[in-house]
Amino acid sequence: MKSLTSANFEDCLLKKVDLRRQLISQTMREVQKVVHCLTTDISCHDIRFQAVPYSDTYNGNIKVLTPRHFLVTVPMKGLAGYREVKEGHWRYYTLQGDRLSTHVRCPEDLQQWLEVEQFMKSLWQWHEADVTIQGDIVPAKVLQVFQKLVENAVTTCHLSGKVSMLERFGSVVSVAVETSACQVEIELVPAVEIPTSWSAKARWPRCLKRWPSQETVECIKSFGFSLLARSNYHWQLNFFRAEQALLELLDEDGGCRRKCFQVMRQMKEDVWCPGQRPVLTSHHLQTVLFWTCEKYPHSKDWQVFSESFLRLVQKLHKCVSQHFLKHYFVHKSNLLRYASSVELEAVAQRLASFLKNPKISLP
């Protein structure tokens, strides 16, 4: 057993972090080839969907939720000049276009409606009935079109031996991909990218906060946001590119924030919350990191690894115990709202045990 304060605890765990990075890099290369092939074929058959490019460096369209679960955003083309509008009317239609007697529920804090008329320019295909109802671009209908395109692409690209469609649960299109290391699940999500503006729902930064700097805030907001087709009626706000940029700018003052995050992620995957579809993902940990950075904005707060790391784990334990973790940009949204209470309690117990005696078995 190695204590957190022992001389080689940090070194040993960072070696595991590096091994994880190497494994994911190899898996990422294989996943990118598959995704690029599938989306290129999809784009050839439907101009509204754009191919996801292959990249030798960072790929902003692919998010690693766990080492065996990737989220891929597939950009949609033909919608430009986005404008925010106030939600001024209720919707009374089913997903088949039939009239309802009562209105559809309103979007949650991390969701919104999307109308074709919110764009100054749009391809005529976005006005077709296969994706719209009464002028709204409906995620469920977009996903129906997209699902068929993915199924056809698997066959057309001769990937049936490597890629298989997974049973669809809710508003998710997923495939299983066999890589040289393991089978990974890829969630393919159509996305409307809006790089020119910042969502009105993201009231960030909060007033009188010292982290991040004003220069960094302006840089982060310049990445805009996107809208994901992940529910039936409403589009989900997404800030992956802005979050990635914030991660890359973490330690400009020479602190150890990123190192703490990497070690916490490793501990989460190995000890606190392992598995292919765990209740906590890297995105949850990243959000905990951002909130902790905001609370402790000074360089001096991030110079001693053991102290900084325990501070992060304490924040994570508090959020998991309370089943409450605010989205960093859209503060009214709780990222743990629909998480399993039983699974969260199990993770909270493991975190409590670690905080009581910060030790771990290492090879």
Give whole-number Cα distances, 5 to 11, 266, 289, 309, 358, in Å: 11, 17, 21, 11, 9
Using the predicted structure, report yes or no on whether residue 12 has a pLDDT greater than 90: no
Residue, of 86 and 70, whose pLDDT is higher: 70
For residue 334, the 8-state DSSP code is: B
* Mean pLDDT value across residues 133-138: 96
Q: Tell me how far apart the alpha carbons of residues 66 and 274 are, in angstroms, rounded to a whole number.
A: 9
In the predicted model, what is the mean pLDDT of residues 33-37?
97
* Residue 7 confidence class, pLDDT cut points 50, 70, 90: low
Residue 209 has pLDDT above 90, yes or no: no
Collect contacts of 125-133 with beta carbons under 8 A, ≥24 apart. Answer: 125/46, 125/47, 125/48, 125/78, 126/48, 126/78, 126/79, 129/97, 131/48, 133/93, 133/95, 133/97
181 against 165, higher pLDDT: 165
270-293 pLDDT, tens digit per residue, is 999 998 889 999 999 999 999 999
pLDDT confidence of residue 171 = 82
Domain residue spans of the chain:
22-249, 250-358
Between 317 and 275, where is the model more confident?
A: 317
| Per-residue model confidence (pLDDT) at position 167 | 87
What is the rounded average pLDDT of the residues 47-54?
96
| Residue 363 banded pLDDT, cuts 50, 70, 90 | very low
Q: pLDDT tens, 72-106? A: 999 999 999 999 988 778 999 999 899 999 999 99
* Cβ-contact 189, 229 below 8 angstroms: yes
Q: Which CATH class is domain 250-358?
A: mainly alpha
Q: Which fold has domain 22-249?
A: Beta Polymerase; domain 2 (3.30.460)
| Mean pLDDT score across all residues of the chain | 93
Over residues 122-141, the mean pLDDT reads 96
Alpha-carbon distance of 148 to 156, in angstroms, equals 12
Q: What is the pLDDT of residue 263?
A: 92
Q: Which pLDDT does position 87 carry in this prediction?
A: 76
- State both tokens at 80: 């430009």
Residue with more model confidence, 7 or 15: 15
Each residue of 214-254: pLDDT tens digit?
Answer: 999 999 999 999 999 999 999 999 999 999 999 999 998 88
Tell me the percentage of the chain whose pLDDT exceeds 90. Answer: 84
